[in-house]
Amino acid sequence: MLDPVPSSPATLSDGSSPTGGAVLPDGVDRAATPPQRVAVLWCRRTADTALRALTSLDLIPLLLAPADTEEFLATSGEPSVLVVDCDALDAEAADVLARIRAAHPRLSVCALAGADASRDGLLHALRIGVAEVVDPARPDDLAAVLTKVVESPAHVRVLAVGAHPDDVEIGCGGTLLRHRDAGHAVTVLTLTLGDQGGRPTDRRREAVGAATRLGAELLLADLADTRLDEEVGLTRLVEEVVAAVRPTVVYVHSAADQHQDHRAVHEAVVVATRRVPEVYCYQSPSSRVGFSPTRFVRVDDTVGEKVDLLGVYRSQSARHYLEPDLVMATARYWARQLPHIRHAEPFEVHRASGDGADLH
């Protein structure tokens, strides 16, 4: 394995946060940021050009040998992009790349091929089906291609809003995990520290832990727990967060909820997100029987991880609604609405575009 390329913290500071350097309203704290994005490179001659392009996009570049890359993917997960210089693509490396493509069909691969590139390497890349081939001597072209490749899923920006720590994880944790897995940018906004239900320091720590598992940015406010319905600036605060996050999909409490904080958050969010294309309302343990979902997101692949995610909230472990069998049974119950699905999360549709949150 080659050495990881040193990166400048100054360049990489807030680059992966959905809100980046945007101004947040007073009283809202960026308590967790999503993990930094990584780019794996197979190149030597063209490394400097590729490194410049990748660092300008706030990616951490990692020079690896092809033989070491499969292990990296197995242990560290998928990078945002794999950049392959065709000169490094001999028959052996091409075999590795073909296996990686088969095992990770969503991983973006960009090939570098200059005018004097190895013909065999270029043929290997094309045969394997690498769609993006760019001349490293044209840095503007390289930056444009990498931007397109890396940013393509990020047009989906998700904002999940809850009154208390654990609300969004209970209501739509499996769906947020699917957004994370699809490479979408996820932000959680939690409006109180839930101090009526536990020590704020514990609840804050747990919320940060859950956001880390979600790969999400966490924005935390410390408004008065159980009294959000008296909070005159709530809508304005959410509007300012919406301006910073610029979400394309929003998840929020349903209005059919017995908890006054949940209803207050619903009202504030539906006003503040009036220009957001998709707004869905999730179920809470305090939802009324009038909760009437018409959208059901398959969470077969993430419901187990959702249970683990809820386990982060140890201070709430006595709550019956966090019991794993109830979480699983609830997801199993809602799956009866759709064929061929075993677990689902239900949503009321407040507003929907035709794209359906890109989770198909």
Positions in the binding site for Zn ion (CB under 5 A): 163-164, 167
As measured in angstroms, the least distance from the Cβ of 341 to Zn ion is 27
Written as six digits, the tokens of 34 are 């999503």
Residue nearest to Zn ion (CB): 164
Q: Which residues pair with 223 in a beta bridge?
A: 192
As measured in angstroms, the least distance from the Cβ of 257 to Zn ion is 9
Of 164 and 298, which has the nearer Cβ to Zn ion?
164
As measured in angstroms, the least distance from the Cβ of 110 to Zn ion is 44
Of 61 and 165, which has the nearer Cβ to Zn ion?
165
As measured in angstroms, the least distance from the Cβ of 262 to Zn ion is 6
Q: Residue 335 is which amino acid?
A: A
Of 196 and 353, which has the nearer Cβ to Zn ion?
196
As measured in angstroms, the least distance from the Cβ of 219 to Zn ion is 16
As measured in angstroms, the least distance from the Cβ of 2 to Zn ion is 48
Q: How far apart are CA 35 and CA 306, in angstroms?
A: 19
Q: How far apart are CA 264 and CA 112, in angstroms?
A: 53
Of 167 and 348, which has the nearer Cβ to Zn ion?
167
With CA atoms as reference, report the closest residue to 43 among 116, 104, 113: 113
Of 275 and 320, which has the nearer Cβ to Zn ion?
320
Q: How far apart are CA 332 and CA 327, in angstroms?
A: 9
Of 157 and 164, which has the nearer Cβ to Zn ion?
164
